[in-house]
Amino acid sequence: MEGARLDVALAELLPQSSDVFKGASRSQIQKLIEAGGVLIAGQPAKKNLALASGEVVEVVMSAWQELNTDRAAVIPPGSELADVRVVFEDDHLVALSKPAGLTTHPVAGMSEPTLVDYLKASSFRLAETDDALKPGIVHRLDKGTSGLLLVAKDTPTHAALQRTFERRQALKYYLALAIGGEMPETGVVDEPLERNPRHRELYTVGAKGRLALTYYRVIGAHPVVKLVLLRIVTGRTHQIRVHLQSRGQAIVGDDDYGRGMNVELTSFLEGARDKSYRSAWSEALPEAAVRKRLLDAIGRCPGFFLHSYALYLKHPATGEQMELRAEPPEYFADALKALRLPPPPVDPRVLLPPEAKP
């Protein structure tokens, strides 16, 4: 079928090749292609690609199976999915507070519940997107991150919100509880990010990477951990985690980018020898009861102590200014109380203004 559009050709050929594709429509094939489930020369193909003679087309069966799975059925009947909370909702969008430990959207071959599954099971209306596995999703949070996330209910809203994020017109504030040495009270991390060559699922700073810009302010200091308010201008994968690591910090609970420091902290709280510089942890936390409270708070976190705290942007339909905030999870607040660190500011723009240049 030389010269034919890829989606047209597959809609004709796949139902003839296997009963798995029996009755498959062109629309379903297009969604498969959009989800990266069709490869040419090992790379995801475009649905309007004109086929050339001799090209080998590969179909990723796990992607097809995922698209035809009733994701709502992934959630056990009668269960509520891990404290998903609606922060704001209207006819165009919904702002949710995602719990740590919950993946934003499914990928091919995934069996565990995701936020998208919760939305479908709860009968939320979700915008159709270019990627059929990410209906309504405007931006994502790492599985281990908690907090604010926007979901569009219709295609125009989804497109408008994506433009807002792409043009960096949304103010995005995060809270992190970090272990590490001293760092300046305020600062900016302007370090490009690229994939870690040794661990391709992780990232590292590198001159050949993509632009990544983070402003921060330490708003609560303790010899054991510090509470950091961050504003990200870009939104790269693992950006805050890598940028803090580049400054000698590890987010509490983040073993991917700070396993050593996290193991030492947990061991100390459990009663092992203090390995901190000049035994600073023992001096700062002499009371066993306080150590137990902190250990308990850390143990209740199903991810790590990074929280999407506040979003400021214009409503895509009305143009009105939106000010969204999601309070940190209970275990996060309990950790702050155990260390007598201050609660996060009601308006983070006061402590870390948009125009601030450290």
Q: Which residues belong to the active site?
A: 142
Please state, in angstroms and rounded to a whole number, the distance separating the CA atoms of residues 155 and 133.
Answer: 15
Helix 239-246 vs helix 255-269: crossing angle, to nearest 10: 70
Amino acid symbol at 8 = V
